[in-house]
Chains A and B, each alone.
Chain A
Amino acid sequence: MVLAELTKLRRSALWIVAAVLPLLTVITGTVNYSANQGALSAGWTSYWSQVTIFYGMLFMSTAIAVLASAAWRMEHRGHNWNLLMAVPARARSVVGAKIAALALVVAVMQLVLLLMVVLTGKLVLGLDGFLPWNGVAAALLGIVAALPVVALQSVLSMLIRSFAAPVVLGLLGCVAGVGILYAGIGGAVPYLVPQALVIRSLSLGGTAVSDAGVLDLSTAAPVAVASAALTLLLWALGSAVLSRRDVR
């Protein structure tokens, strides 16, 4: 099923979004870092923070929303929905395969970002050494934290035929995530909003957000556990909805 989903995405323009967004992120982050070297502390951590500040807050989650809408759009076109429902597979397989395929696209997007940061840091900015392990870990944790956003947007795009409406709802989630981050809301709330998990994971260990916290096992583990639990919950929810009602 996952291979079938990837085949459907093979010629899709969503790969362009997955490649261009990290590229723009790195270009703007590099320009910002170069222009403000007097105000910013030098080094990889500061550079990584400049690259990921807006990307983590808004653009990664919104890009996932656009990618999910694009992945489900083909199923809502013509008679494809009837064909999909006639596939001899359980609802959980259909929903799970879509989530897995989208997660792979997001992983590629994140790896492109990481590669571009390393290349630009070394070749353009001439930074000493290498991107610290916590930058690499934050990028990889970002993939895990993006899974519930992928699941949520996939379920929304499955239920809503419109391309743009799930993106607006995703944007609302980003605003909630930014609000949770800046208001310093503690407890379980930051772990229940998928977009807040992405913002938290990419800001851990950085210098652009005050009170971001260090990246270690005690801060990364709750993000990873909450992401896994939310993803499973949203997958189950999507499967239950799909097996019980038709999407019109």
Chain B
Amino acid sequence: MRAAVLEVQKMRRLRVAPVCAVMVAAVTALTCAGLMSDSARAGFGDPAAQPWETLLLSYVLVSAMTSPLLVAVLASRQVDVEHQGRGWMLSQVAGLSPGRLCRAKAAVLGAVLAALVAVQTSLVVAAGLAAGITVPLQAGIWVRYAVCLFLVDLALLCLHIWLAARVDNQLVGMGIGLLGSFCGVFSLLMPPALARALPWGYYAVVSPVAMGEDALRVITPGYGWLAVFLLVVAALFGAACHRFDRTEG
């Protein structure tokens, strides 16, 4: 608990709130850009035009594109201060081992991500309602997708915290975040087996909508695969933190 409070205090100087606000604004703006077109507006009252499904697919695409970068940025900023200020050593002297420090960072940034996903999902839905979509909203699909999106973000956050802590040069973490962002977008077009083999492919695995022959289809996301992915990442992150505690330097 003390470690988490310390991380929150570090966060205040790292301007995490403005970074998150920028990302929420970016995701909402990119997702809702399609709502402005005349062709989209014409179908706002027609269930056959699938306005909510179209908006959700757009949200899935934009989230897959931006979330890997967001996660890389948050992890990089929170961990880089330890490299720059010799925080690993200072914390260890104060009784906080590097592994515990990483877990505290994951817990605090995870809470930030939960709030961020909740706010951006609410904003996208609010924008759809404000734009004039009158087709009834199936809130359950949106809530389930938001929870799954948060879980994938959290898993990638753990991997990025490990990477940022392991490799001093933040170019590596940010570069992988950038390439992951690319993989995230194209995971929606990849064969499902390939998407499941890549960490960023899980943005596609949790998608509740898919392109059909001539319309969008509501599908059941791959919850089983997501559970396996989360378990594997939790085991890897736990082992990595344990190893940090036992490694010198």
Contact = CB atoms under 8 A, between A and B. Distances in A.
Interface of A: 12-14, 16-17, 20-21, 24-25, 28, 31-32, 35, 54, 58-59, 62-63, 66, 69-70, 73, 162-165, 167-169, 171-172, 175, 178-179, 182-183
A93 to B, nearest CB: 25
A62 B178 contact: yes
A73 B189 CA distance: 35
A17 B76 contact: no
Given A168-B23, A175-B29, A179-B29, A63 B186 contact: no
B54 interface: no
A162 B77 contact: yes
B36 to A, nearest CB: 7
B174 A167 contact: yes
Which of A12, A24, A63, A175 is most buried by chain B, counting CB atoms within 10 A of its CB? A175
B170 A164 contact: yes
Given A28-B186, A179-B29, A168 B73 contact: yes
Contacts of B30: 175, 178
B189 A163 contact: no
Interface of B: 14-15, 19, 22-23, 25-26, 29-30, 33, 36, 65-66, 69, 72-74, 76-77, 80, 169-172, 174-175, 178-179, 181-183, 185-186, 189-190
Nearest to A17: B175
Contacts of B169: 13, 70, 73
A218 to B, nearest CB: 27
Nearest to A14: B171
A23 to B, nearest CB: 10
A178 B72 contact: no
Given A62-B181, A175-B26, A179-B33, 11 more contacts: A21-B179, A28-B186, A35-B189, A58-B65, A58-B181, A69-B170, A69-B174, A162-B80, A167-B73, A172-B22, A172-B25
Nearest to A63: B178
Nearest to A77: B84
Nearest to B170: A163
A76 to B, nearest CB: 9
A13 B168 CA distance: 12
A54 B182 contact: yes
B23 A21 contact: no
A20 B179 contact: yes
Nearest to B186: A28
Given A35-B189, A62-B181, A171 B171 contact: no
Given A24-B182, A32-B186, A172-B26, A16 B76 contact: no
Contacts of A179: 29, 33
A58 B30 CA distance: 11
Given A24-B183, A165-B15, A171-B69, A183 B189 contact: no
29 contacts: A13-B169, A16-B175, A20-B179, A24-B183, A31-B189, A54-B65, A54-B182, A58-B181, A59-B181, A62-B69, A63-B178, A66-B175, A69-B171, A163-B76, A163-B80, A163-B171, A163-B174, A164-B19, A164-B76, A164-B170, A164-B174, A165-B19, A168-B22, A171-B22, A171-B66, A172-B22, A175-B26, A175-B30, A182-B33
Contacts of B74: 164
B175 A59 contact: no
Contacts of A24: 179, 182-183
Nearest to B20: A168
Contacts of B178: 17, 21, 59, 62-63, 66
B77 A165 contact: yes
Contacts of A21: 178-179, 182
Given A13-B175, A73-B171, A163-B171, A54 B19 contact: no
B171 A70 contact: yes
Contacts of B25: 172, 175
A167 B15 CA distance: 14
Given A54-B185, A164-B72, A165-B77, A66 B171 contact: yes
Interface centre among A66, A69, A73 (most CB of B within 10 A): A66
Nearest to B76: A164
Nearest to B171: A70
Nearest to A172: B22
B84 to A, nearest CB: 8
Tell which of B36, B66, B169 has the most Cβ of chain A within 10 Å.
B169
B210 to A, nearest CB: 14
